Structure 1
Amino acid sequence: MRTVVFDLDGTLADTSGDLLAAANACFQRLGHGDLLGPDDTLTAFHGGRAMLRLGFSRLGAMDEAMIDAQYPVLLEAYGQAIAVHTRLYPGAVEAVEALRSKGFAVAICTNKPEGLAEELTLRLGIRGLFGALIGADTLPTRKPDAAPYVAAVRQAGGNVARSMLIGDTETDRNTGLAAGVPVALVTFGPEGRSIERLKPEALLDHFDDLPDLAARMLG
């Protein structure tokens, strides 16, 4: 079965506002106030540790022990306010529904912890649309290793040889290379069309274009 696998953060949904708020909650508890702002959206999509590193670097003092100590605090804060500012990108639901109606299997493969990804997709009302969800801690490895991607395809009932990944970062591009599958990177994420620098097999400017794009790429 032809299968389309989606990244979550920065691809299906703009989660940056809630991610940045969770990181700032850590800094607030330490008495530093908000160290991150809207201009740090790109860092938010690179994960919790990246946000903590950036914030602490602005204080002029940062080491990995500080990151390790605050990461669980960030996850707790994020879990408590996971869908306050988060919004699905325009056309995402309609595109997934269109793929399903055309006989495609659809899945999510994310580097967000599985429990948080499950909770967020439930809150957004989209969990039931996907045949599988693989998170950062579902398997011993995470993207860009190919194993989580392969697991997502297989759990959704698909065939890796007839699958593709929709993502927004270099991690997604490298996952596709590792798995030997084509990748379409969205241009409506934080990098805009500069994501073209990664030379994906396709660019996706709007979810309205996805059903036709998937049909062309997967036959």
Structure 2
Amino acid sequence: MTRAVIFDLDGTLIDSAPDIHAAANRLMAAHGFAGFTPEETRAFIGHGVPHFIACCLRARDADATGDLHRQLVGEFEAGYKTAVWLTEVYPGVADALERLAGMGFALGICTNKPVAPARAVLAHLGLDVFFSVVIGGDSCPARKPDPAPLTAAVTGLGATRVLYVGDSEIDAETSVRAGLPFALYTQGYRKTPVAEIPHQTAFSDFDALPDFAAGLLP
């Protein structure tokens, strides 16, 4: 029976908010809109690029459903593939991944970030070697919190016992809908108090994750 740990990406393994903020402001400026603060763009993260761009447009009183939205989504996704230079790995992530792999866990990614930028940033940060399966926001017809992407990651890993790790309400809902236990990383992009998010464990230090996973999935 294969044990696996599947991770969200932005806000869970990596702090990509600075790159996303910079890319959004470049795009908005190119179309004559005022930029955003880092806190504003951080609040838009989590549901995938179309939702993110819709939030940006609504915040500037622009149409978030028509041709402009489609154009900006395409332009953002094109530039997003190289938006890696301001992104950092959260402390302890690499060591935790090495420990989990050494304990025999299969490792995967399930993120609402498009799969090409997800793979690009993983490679840039040297984390790609850990993950045999990467499911992005455009890998399935639906995005999280629909459980289909997470189920696809589970199937791709051939796993029978799985822990999902994420940082947000979206990740928690996805895990619940997929019927999987959830570990909440509390230093990411969540907008809700920890106590109000369904989880089996909450942690702020990645050093704690391998032991929890081993205890949950012996």
TM over 0.5: yes
* Further displaced range: 107-116 or 53-62: 53-62
Please show how residues 153-172 of structure 1 align to structure 2 within 5 Å. Answer: 153-159=154-160, 162-172=161-171
| 1:179 Cα deviation after fit | 1.2
| 1:74 Cα deviation after fit | 1.0
For 1:55 and 1:17, the matched residues in 2 are separated by 15
The amino acid across from 1:180 in the alignment is: G
For 1:115 and 1:56, the matched residues in 2 are separated by 24
For 1:164 and 1:145, the matched residues in 2 are separated by 17
Residue in structure 1 matching 2:74, options 72, 81, 105: 72
The amino acid across from 1:70 in the alignment is: L
Structure 1 counterpart SS, 2:180 = coil
Query: 1:187: which partner in 2?
Result: 186
| 1:154 Cα deviation after fit | 2.7
For 1:57 and 1:145, the matched residues in 2 are separated by 24
Give the number of equivalent residue pairs. Answer: 215
| 1:124 Cα deviation after fit | 1.0
Query: 1:151: which partner in 2?
Result: 152
| 1:109 Cα deviation after fit | 0.8
For 1:195 and 1:5, the matched residues in 2 are separated by 20
Please show how residues 43-192 of structure 1 align to structure 2 within 5 Å. Answer: 43-65=44-66, 66-80=68-82, 82-159=83-160, 162-191=161-190
Do the aligned residues in 2 keep the contact of 1:20 with 1:51 (CA within 8 Å)?
A: no
Do the aligned residues in 2 keep the contact of 1:22 with 1:74 (CA within 8 Å)?
A: yes
For 2:136 and 2:33, the matched residues in 1 are separated by 31
For 1:78 and 1:133, the matched residues in 2 are separated by 17
| 1:57 Cα deviation after fit | 3.0
For 2:79 and 2:200, the matched residues in 1 are separated by 37
Report the CA distance shift for 1:147/1:193 in structure 2 as closer, same or farther (over 3 A): closer
| 1:203 Cα deviation after fit | 0.7
Structure 2: unaligned runs, 5 residues or longer: none
Query: 2:215: which partner in 1?
Result: 216
For 1:173 and 1:142, the matched residues in 2 are separated by 14
For 1:87 and 1:77, the matched residues in 2 are separated by 18
Report the CA distance shift for 1:67/1:158 in structure 2 as closer, same or farther (over 3 A): same
Structure 2 counterpart SS, 1:164 = strand
Q: Calculate the TM-score normalised by the size of structure 2.
A: 0.90
Q: Calculate the TM-score normalised by the size of structure 1.
A: 0.90
Query: 2:39: which partner in 1?
Result: 39
Report the CA distance shift for 1:111/1:190 in structure 2 as closer, same or farther (over 3 A): closer
Instruction: Please report the RMSD computed on the Cα atoms of aligned residues, expressed in angstroms.
Output: 1.8
For 2:141 and 2:33, the matched residues in 1 are separated by 35
The amino acid across from 1:74 in the alignment is: F
Between Structure 1 and Structure 2, the one with more helix by share is 1
Do the aligned residues in 2 keep the contact of 1:169 with 1:195 (CA within 8 Å)?
A: no
Q: Percent identity?
A: 35
* Further displaced range: 25-34 or 6-15: 25-34
Structure 1: unaligned runs, 5 residues or longer: none
- Tell me the alpha carbon deviations over residues 106-151 of structure 1, each in whole angstroms, 9 at most, x when there is no partner: 1111111111111111111111111211112222233222222122
